[in-house]
């Protein structure tokens, strides 16, 4: 019994005496260990699930005996739709899988298709991809931080995070015309030429992000309520986490150094200097620390990209794959023909299969693309990090209090679109 | 005798030594081999590979090659945490056939096998809870099969 609740207990005791009856059906209250179990549906519409997730909780008092996540409420059959589309038409669908990390999804799909095509991407396009993907990582982590803090009760951080994220979204809008569903990274390079003044705009945002991240760290890390709610909560032995398919910041907070950017280099990531932050505490607070540090590392990489951006073309020399720009299309016969052919029949991709991995803000994002030699992908399997991470929820919630389950779910940072696809 | 494309692959050699005859075929996908395992041997092979370092199961999925027979391929994506190398296994199976579940090797296989069952109709033997995961429990058909229409399965607007 917590301090300050003694009067409630005494009231309870009186109440129990009052309703005692000779039938033997004794009222035992709802204290833990009283043996009265209760099944509670958390969701599908619950603010802390950040989407439509239903968790069936078996409760003893306030303690969770077992938790069973039920998913599929957001299943939209994206993988089936991919099979009906041409290769270039799949790109907008990948935005909608993980709608907080759309550019990482674009990148993963583009890399998979480029690997099947055997296409070399110019260095400038690769660096631009890294720059934008790292900005996406910061934007996604800002959403995680804001909503996670809001769930635990710190409202101010939410507004700060969304203010900063808006600045990043303005950059995306500048590049692609879209704030969230950018479809900017495509097989063959980028969708459009980087806009005039991008360097200045990003430099300005990066300055602000750097001070912002330090500010939020101070806001929360020294806050006793935050520390009490997150330290020592949501722990799970690391071998079980690996067994259950957990990846990304959650696994790094458990001390496993795993990061697809280092382990299977792609897109010039090997030319950037960055550290993979790890912690060993393996609780909600450690995941907070890892993600905060990741934001700093991403900002560091964005700075490197700003300083060392190579010059050169922003797309591969592959007119049969990437749409020509409008000006050329209207003045050159070949460009018009290529445009017509790509739009009407697409491009054929040699038969084969490839499993391409990138590091999304949530963990290992993999696209398994199978081609049968036609212009439509035969199969696109999306190995999404949220799906693997969410599978550990049941094990992680066993024996914790309901209030802590909110902190645990927030620390997992899943996106239901990413889980259900 | 190992297929030519994986003749020098140390993981494949070790599998062949531990579980003789398990490898039935292999193709060189773009950058890594896809090794076909005899469907009866998948659990011993996976158990051996997990002991050999492939502690991570990244995912399980299916591919439908209808109307070819056997129509399904079940793909297993593994990763070792020592040197982060990857391995891709595949099992060919037909409609009405069952594969042994690998949930006894990796607990994480649970949801992936449920998803493969839900969307392809591949049945996994000895799975602890083989129910639909994405589609509603009373759904008919398996959406990712090639003979399942993209538009208008049951509630078609076009027929009206």
Q: pLDDT for A317-348, tens place per residue?
A: 888 888 888 888 889 999 999 999 999 988 99
Closest residue, chain A, to B34 (C-alpha): A353
CATH number of this structure's domain B4-125, picked from the four choices 3.40.50.300, 3.40.50.2300, 3.30.460.80, 1.10.510.10 = 3.30.460.80
Residue among A77, A115, A421 minimizing CB distance to B30 = A115
pLDDT reported for residue A14: 45
Please list the residues that pair with B90 across neighbouring strands: B36, B75
Q: Give the residue, A11 or A239, on which the prediction is more confident.
A: A239
Residue among B57, B81, B143 minimizing CB distance to A80 = B143
8 A C-beta contact, residue A409 and residue A49? yes
H or E element at residue A182: none
H or E element at residue A67: strand A63-70
Please enumerate residues of B whose Cβ is less than 8 A from a Cβ of A: 29-32, 34, 55-59, 61, 63-64, 75, 77, 81, 84, 86, 88, 106-108, 110-112, 119, 132-136, 143-144, 148, 150
pTM of the prediction?
0.88
Which of these, B122, B91, B70, lies nearest to B25 by C-alpha position?
A: B91
What is the pLDDT confidence band of residue A23, given thresholds at 50, 70 and 90?
Answer: low
- In this structure, what token pair is assigned to residue B109? 């296989």
Distance in angstroms between the alpha carbons of the first and the last residue of chain A = 44
- B64: chain A residues, CB-CB within 8 Å: 379
- B111: chain A residues, CB-CB within 8 Å: 245, 387, 391
Q: In this complex, do A243 and B30 lie within 8 Å of one another by their Cβ atoms?
A: no
Residue among B63, B84, B135 minimizing CB distance to A75 = B135
Closest residue, chain B, to A80 (C-alpha): B144
Q: In this complex, do A81 and B150 lie within 8 Å of one another by their Cβ atoms?
A: yes
Q: Nearest-CA distance from A342 to chain B in Å? A: 23
- B144: chain A residues, CB-CB within 8 Å: 79-80, 379
pLDDT digits (tens, 9 = 90+) for B77-135: 999 988 888 889 999 998 888 999 999 999 999 999 999 999 999 999 999 989 899 88
pLDDT digits (tens, 9 = 90+) for A362-374: 999 999 999 998 9
Q: State how far the Cα of A371 lies from the Cα of A379, in Å rounded to an integer.
A: 7
8 A C-beta contact, residue A299 and residue A138? yes
What is the pLDDT confidence band of residue A31, given thresholds at 50, 70 and 90?
Answer: low
What whole-number percentage of chain A has pLDDT above 90? 39
Q: In this complex, do A383 and B107 lie within 8 Å of one another by their Cβ atoms?
A: no
> Where do we find the tokens 């609780």?
A283
Q: Find which of B35, B56, B128 to mutate to test the A interface (most A CBs within 10 Å of its CB).
A: B56
pLDDT reported for residue A12: 47
Q: Nearest-CA distance from A359 to chain B in Å? A: 13
What whole-number percentage of chain B has pLDDT above 90? 32
Q: Nearest-CA distance from A112 to chain B in Å? A: 10
Q: Which of helix, strand or coil describes residue B65?
A: coil
Domain A78-420 has CATH 3.40.50.300: no
Q: Where are the beta strands (DSSP E) in A133-274?
A: 185-186, 189-190
pLDDT over 90 at A130, yes or no: yes
Q: Where are the domains of chain A?
A: 78-420
Distance in angstroms between the alpha carbons of the first and the last residue of chain B = 58
Q: State how far the Cα of A187 lies from the Cα of A380, in Å rounded to an integer.
A: 15
DSSP secondary structure code for residue A279 in this structure: -
pLDDT over 70 at A13, yes or no: no
Q: Nearest-CA distance from A80 to chain B in Å? A: 6
Phi, psi of B78 (to 5 degrees): -115, 155
pLDDT over 60 at B158, yes or no: no
pLDDT over 50 at A189, yes or no: yes
* CA-to-CA dists, residue A86 to A82, A94, A376, B64, B150, angstroms: 8, 13, 4, 18, 14
């Amino acid at each position: 019994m917590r301090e300050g609740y003694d009067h409630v207990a005494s009231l309870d005791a009186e109440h129990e005496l009052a309703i005692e009856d000779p039938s033997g059906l004794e009222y035992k209250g709802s204290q833990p260990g009283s043996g009265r179990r209760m099944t509670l549906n958390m969701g599908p519409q619950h603010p802390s699930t950040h989407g439509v997730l239903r968790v069936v909780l078996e409760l003893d008092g306030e303690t969770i005996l077992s938790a069973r996540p039920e998913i599929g409420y957001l299943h939209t059959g994206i993988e089936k739709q991919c099979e009906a589309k041409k290769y270039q038409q799949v790109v907008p669908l990948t935005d909608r899988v993980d709608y907080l990390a759309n550019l990482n999804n674009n990148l993963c799909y583009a890399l998979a298709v480029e690997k099947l095509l055997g296409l070399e991407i110019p260095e400038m396009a690769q660096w631009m991809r890294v720059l934008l993907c790292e900005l996406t990582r910061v934007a996604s982590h800002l959403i995680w931080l804001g909503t996670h803090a809001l769930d635990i009760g710190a409202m101010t951080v939410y507004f700060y995070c969304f203010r900063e994220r808006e600045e990043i979204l303005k950059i995306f809008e500048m590049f692609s015309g879209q704030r969230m569903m950018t479809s900017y990274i495509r097989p063959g390079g980028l969708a459009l030429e980087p806009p005039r003044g991008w360097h200045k705009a990003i430099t300005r945002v990066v300055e602000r992000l750097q001070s912002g991240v330090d500010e939020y760290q101070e806001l929360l890390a020294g806050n006793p309520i935050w520390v009490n709610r997150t330290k020592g909560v949501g722990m799970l032995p690391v071998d079980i986490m690996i067994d259950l398919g957990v990846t990304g910041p959650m696994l790094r907070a458990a001390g496993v150094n795993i990061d697809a950017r280092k382990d299977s280099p792609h897109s010039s990531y090997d030319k950037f200097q960055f550290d993979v932050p790890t912690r060993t505490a393996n609780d909600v607070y450690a995941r907070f620390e890892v993600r905060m540090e990741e934001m700093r590392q991403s900002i560091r990489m964005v700075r490197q990209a700003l300083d060392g951006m190579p010059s050169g073309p922003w797309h591969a020399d592959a007119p049969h794959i990437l749409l020509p720009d409008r000006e050329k299309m209207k003045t050159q016969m070949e460009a018009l023909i290529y445009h017509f052919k790509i739009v009407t029949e697409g491009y054929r991709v040699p038969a084969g299969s490839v499993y391409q991995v990138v590091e999304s803000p949530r963990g290992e994002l993999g696209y398994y693309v199978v081609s049968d030699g036609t212009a439509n992908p035969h199969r696109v399997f999306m190995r999404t990090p949220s799906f693997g991470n969410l599978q550990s929820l049941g094990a992680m919630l066993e024996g914790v209090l309901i209030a802590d389950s909110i902190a645990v779910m927030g620390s997992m940072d899943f996106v239901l679109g990413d889980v259900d696809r | 005798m190992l297929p030519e494309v994986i003749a020098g692959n140390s993981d494949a050699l070790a599998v062949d030594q531990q579980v003789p005859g398990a490898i039935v075929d292999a193709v060189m996908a773009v950058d890594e081999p896809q090794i076909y395992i005899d469907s009866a041997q998948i659990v011993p092979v996976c158990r051996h590979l997990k002991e050999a370092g492939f502690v991570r199961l990244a995912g399980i999925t299916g591919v439908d090659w209808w109307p070819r027979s056997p129509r399904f391929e079940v793909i297993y994506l593994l990763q070792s945490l020592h040197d982060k190398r990857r391995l891709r296994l595949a099992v060919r199976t037909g409609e009405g056939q069952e594969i042994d579940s690998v949930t006894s090797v990796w607990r994480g296989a649970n949801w992936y096998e449920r998803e493969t069952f839900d969307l392809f109709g591949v049945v996994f033997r000895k799975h602890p809870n083989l129910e639909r995961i994405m589609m509603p429990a009373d759904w008919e058909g398996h959406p990712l099969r090639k003979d399942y229409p993209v538009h208008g399965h049951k509630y078609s607007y076009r027929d009206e």
